[in-house]
Structures are given as structure tokens and as C-alpha cells.
Structure 1
Amino acid sequence: MFKRSRIYVAGHRGMVGSAIIENLKNNGYSNLITASSQELDLRDQGAVNEFISQQKPDFVIIAAARVGGILANNEYPWQFLYDNLMIEANLIKAAHSNDVQDLIFLGSSCIYPKKAPQPLKEEYLLTGPLEPTNQWYAIAKITGIKLCQALNQQYGRNYISLMPTNLYGPRDNFDLKTSHVLPAMIRKFHEARENSHSKVSLWGSGSPKREFLHVEDLAESVRFVMELEDRLEYDLINAGTGEDLSIKELAETVQEVVGHKGSIEWDTSKPDGTPRKLMDVSRINDLGWRAQIDLEEGIKNTYQWFLNNLDEIRELAIQN
């Protein structure tokens, strides 16, 4: 890669895409291509192909996706499957059709089977049933991986699928109906603190274990993989910290950061999801990349962003 290379980041306004844009700019990449959802509907194959044809990127990074937590996946299975299939298929096809040799496709740790051995190695893909609560999103992401692998095998493309663990950080989604567990906790504990430290109710038993990666660490891993000079012998790579904690421990950490002094109630009538999801990150570690941001430090950073943008977050909640 050269600093002058034309790099298209799809999904640049989201938490992941915006972090990638910021990382690239901070490291001297100035020839960046973006388009908002109003300017380009990524579900429209013709429009996507025309855009790639006109812009002629040297590198494509796919950070665009419909994302959400257990509740959103359960309530909107069609949108999570269809929208993500269309977005990734259109972008990958357009990149190939317009002779873009290099691409990074961002997925999720939910692609791995529910009962796969821990930690999750890349070779565990498609070795067992998925977790039902997020299978729609997982199936879409698995399809994206296979599209990239098919083009690598048949046409010699260099399309890498990077699978991050649970992400969090500035510009996260804090809507309680559609957010993931960590930003939802930040909002719940904050609002309870503001409401005389009232009781906070959380889903499940608190026993499942999860791994969390700060979005700025993920952005660094994307640039790291993009800049690798040698063609990799594999096209599926996990990105994470290699460390996890229970949801109960996470809740206690968020509670302390936010300064909530009330009690926590666990609603065991709600699903826990997969018992454990810890990524094996030996592959990317062996290449030379490791996560740097400590979880408590990252939660403090994210909570500060939440506080700084509280008016906008509340306005979005009213609109939705």
C-alpha cells in the first residue's frame, strides 16, 4: 500500500468505519473514498457497481452492515439476513468486476458454532450449529467470507475476512432496543444513576463469558492487515484481545465506571445467548499485531464519549 492509494471505506459513518477512517488519516492516508447511505444505497447492485467503476479504488474495506444485539436479531431476522447479504455481495462483486485486487471484509465472532471449542479458532467455521439468537446475521457474514474465498480461489484475489470479537467504543449504538450488551449497560447504569441510583435490570443470568475489543484497536488491526507486504497463506483472521470475562463482571466494571450505587437485578427469563465466545488470536498475533487498549480504560473512554454526545443520543431515541 502507498499513502496515495485510493481506499474506499464502506460504512464510514458507523462506529467501525469512522474509527478506520480516523486511523488511516492519522497514519498519512489522505486519498480516502466515502459515500453516505443517502448518496449510495449499498443494497442496490447497479448503483454500487457504478460507484466502484467511477471511483476506481485500489483497496476496499467493508465496514458497512446492519448490526444489533440479541433483541434486534430476534425481532428483525429478515432485515439482518437480507440487508447484510445484499451489502456484502454487491460490494464484493463490484470490487471484483472492477478489478480491485485487495479487499478487507469485516465480520463477527458469531460466525462460529454455538458449542465450538474455546478459544474459537478460524478452522472451526461451519463445524456445527449456530447460536439461534443471532443466526441471521451470522449466516450473512459466513456468506461474505465464502464469497471472498471463492474469488481468491478462482481468480487469485487478495480478499481477507477479518473477524472481530464484540466491539465497543465511541460512536457506538446506545439505543436500548438495538444495541449490544456493553453500550446498553452504559446507558442503563447512567440513567439509573441519574434516577437516584435506581435498580438496574439486566438480561440473563450474568454467567456467559464475552471478549471485548475497543474499536480503535480494531481499526489498527485493519490497517495492519492492509499494509502487510506478503500475500497471506490464509484469508480468514480473528481479531480480539484473547481475554474474556463474565457478563456479571462486565456489569460490575461498567457500574463502577459510571458511578452507579444501586443494585443489579438479573432477569433469568431472558436468553443468555452463547455460553462463551473467546477468540483464538494466535494467527494475527503471530503476524505481529496485538490489542493495546485495556477494557476498563476503553469503557471510561466510551462513557466519556456518551456523556459528550448525550443530547444527540436522546434525540435519536425520540426519532426511533
Structure 2
Amino acid sequence: MNIFITGSSGFIGSHLKEYLLGHHHDTLFIPSSKELDLSDEKAVDRYILENKIDVIVHTANRGGGRDTADMKNVTEYNLRIFFNIAKHEKNVKKIISFGSGAEYSKQKPIIEAKEDDYLQALPLDEYGFYKSITSHFIEKSENIVQLRIFGAYGEYENYRYKFISNAIVKNLLHLPITINKNVYFDYIYSDDLVKIIDFFIYNDTKEKIYNVTTGTKVDLITLANLVNEVGDFYSDIRVIHEGLNNEYTSNNERLLKEFGDFQFTSHKNAIAKMRCYFQENLDKLDIQTIKEDPYLKAIDTMWKGK
């Protein structure tokens, strides 16, 4: 089977590529952005048809993080590459796309949201709006599945801006862990995420949209304490603003109906594995940015929308 992974050098794409190469013997097509411009419709057409692609896993997109809070034209760019891929749903066996909890509109609390709850309000931010549009389209499609992620973490993520890896690196450097405002998330570890994607590649499923989450909420202070627990240094945990930010959690019953019993990695075990990875690569990291932490307050704009 010929599998085309867009965004194969990104966080999800990198983990998925590594997992598939280690567990299957299919042919992976993983062009870089220099090799294939996904915004070029004719180039995408040629690539998919000439390589006789069977399955497309579309992980490529821009925006959605603290490091991209000021990015312009997020909606137009992402929709253009999405539809350049989606137009080929009849030419391939399956397309797997990725949604976001941001589709539920982050200006309000998102609490144990079910898949259809995104229909209740349109997001104010560009990234959430873009993801919401793709879900509306996919619901009427024939051959596309949307895997909606609320918070994925793991090795290879951008440790400068992503909370869990950032906290781990700060702990390794004997620095305090700073939280702008505590909040409950529904995080899923990368090892679990790629196993779930693998299932969707090789199996037929009943629904068009799935919350790909653990279905269990965890707050940032608890995660910071776990970082201290698995380390050999106790970082001071500093919270700038009291109280809780808008919750960001989901219901994953639909996913579990497909899998039956899926054993998610505990956050403690995942953080311990990540600590080993970052410790081994500590001399390659951007330590100065970690110390300055310039993007800490950027999280505020992400929760306020426009």
C-alpha cells in the first residue's frame, strides 16, 4: 500500500513516520515542503496520481500554538492545502485529516465535549475556524475521517513553547516551572496517538469524526508536579494568575467504541520517557529561549479569540 503523509517532518508526522516504518512494510511517500508545495493544486494532483497513492494522512498545517499566535492568513493557507488533498477522496482508499478542540470555540469552557458539540458555535480564532470548516466538509464527504486532537505531546515537539516538554527542560536546567494560569486539558501521548492513527489507516470505521483523546482531564499544576516527581531536582512551580482558565476537555466514547479496550500511557510514564529524551539531547537545545520564556504570555491571546 502507498501511504502519503503530509507534514512528515512535523510533530505528528515525524512520530507517525517512525512508527509505520517500524511496524509495516508499506511504501511511505513523505515529501518535504521543498519537494512538494501543498498549496500548488496541480503539483499535488500530479504527486497523488503519479505515485498511485492509496491512503493520505494529512498532518500538515500552520498555526494553533503559542509560537504561531501572530501568524496571518492561517485560514486561507490551511484550507487551500486541505482542499487540494480532499479533492482526491475518490482517487484514494482513504484520507485521514486532523481536527482540533479549538473547533469548539475556546472563548468559552470546553468541558467533556462530544463530537457534534462543535456545531453549537463558530470559533472566533482563525485556526479553530479553519478546523471547524474542515469538519463540516468531512461530515458530508465519502472517504475522509477527521481525528480531532485536544492536546498531543511527546518527544520531538517544540520544547520552546509546548508546556510539558518546556517544563521538563526547565527541570533539567534546574529552573522554575512557570504557569500563566492553571487549566484542565485532555492530553494524549504521542506513542498512543500514532497507534490510534495506525488503526484508522488499516481499518474501516463507522463515523466521520472522532475525538482522539484520553477522555481524562489533567491540569498544568499536576503535570508540573509529575515532572518534579520523575526528575532528580525539584523545580519551583510558579503560577502567575490565580484561578482556572477555560477548561479544554473531551468525551472519547465514540473512539473507545471502535477500539474496545485501549490502554493509554500514564502521564507519569510518558513524562519519564520524555525526560530521558531531552536529557540525552540537552546540549542541542536552545537554552537561552528557555530561560527567557518570551512566549509565556502568548497563551492569553489564544484563549480570547480575535
TM range (shorter): 0.7 to 0.9
**Structure 1 residue 59 corresponds to structure 2 residue 44:** no
**Partner residue in 2 for 1:222:** 197
Please point out which of 89, 100, 107 is paired with 2:92.
100
**Partner residue in 1 for 2:156:** 171
**Partner residue in 1 for 2:265:** 293
**Structure 1 residue 84 corresponds to structure 2 residue 78:** yes
**Structure 1 residue 21 corresponds to structure 2 residue 17:** yes
User: How far apart are 1:168 and its partner, in Å?
Assistant: 0.6
Distance 1:199 1:301, change over 3 A: closer
**Partner residue in 2 for 1:119:** 112
Distance 1:199 1:20, change over 3 A: closer
User: How far apart are 1:259 and its partner, in Å?
Assistant: 3.5
C-alpha separation between the residues in 2 aligned to 1:19 and 1:226? 15
User: How far apart are 1:247 and its partner, in Å?
Assistant: 1.4
Normalised by the size of structure 1, how large is the TM-score?
0.81
User: How far apart are 1:51 and its partner, in Å?
Assistant: 1.4
**Structure 1 residue 239 corresponds to structure 2 residue 212:** yes
C-alpha separation between the residues in 2 aligned to 1:7 and 1:164? 21
**Partner residue in 2 for 1:314:** 286
**Partner residue in 1 for 2:180:** 203
Deviations 1:59-102 (A, max 9, x none): 11111122453x334322x1533432233222222x23x71241
User: How far apart are 1:172 and its partner, in Å?
Assistant: 0.8
Which SS does the other structure have where 1:75 is aligned? coil
Higher strand share: 2
Q: Is the CA contact 1:11–1:17 (under 8 Å) kept in the aligned structure 2?
A: yes
**Partner residue in 2 for 1:37:** 33
**Partner residue in 1 for 2:253:** 282
**Structure 1 residue 148 corresponds to structure 2 residue 121:** no
**Partner residue in 1 for 2:2:** 6
Residue correspondence of structure 1 range 241-260 to structure 2 within 5 A:
241-260=214-233
Distance 1:84 1:317, change over 3 A: farther
C-alpha separation between the residues in 2 aligned to 1:188 and 1:113? 31
**Partner residue in 1 for 2:127:** 137
Aligned-residue RMSD, C-alpha: 2.6
**Partner residue in 2 for 1:261:** 234
Paired residues in the alignment total 288
**Partner residue in 1 for 2:67:** 72
Distance 1:91 1:311, change over 3 A: farther
Which SS does the other structure have where 1:9 is aligned? strand
User: How far apart are 1:46 and its partner, in Å?
Assistant: 2.4
Q: Is the CA contact 1:105–1:160 (under 8 Å) kept in the aligned structure 2?
A: yes
Distance 1:315 1:60, change over 3 A: farther
Which SS does the other structure have where 1:35 is aligned? coil
The code of the aligned residue for 1:248 comes to I
User: How far apart are 1:15 and its partner, in Å?
Assistant: 1.9
C-alpha separation between the residues in 1 aligned to 2:193 and 2:177? 30
* Gap regions ≥5 residues in structure 2: 291-306
User: How far apart are 1:278 and its partner, in Å?
Assistant: 1.7
Matched-pair identity in %: 23
Deviations 1:205-247 (A, max 9, x none): x2x2112101111111111122224x52x20011111111111
C-alpha separation between the residues in 1 aligned to 2:22 and 2:137? 31
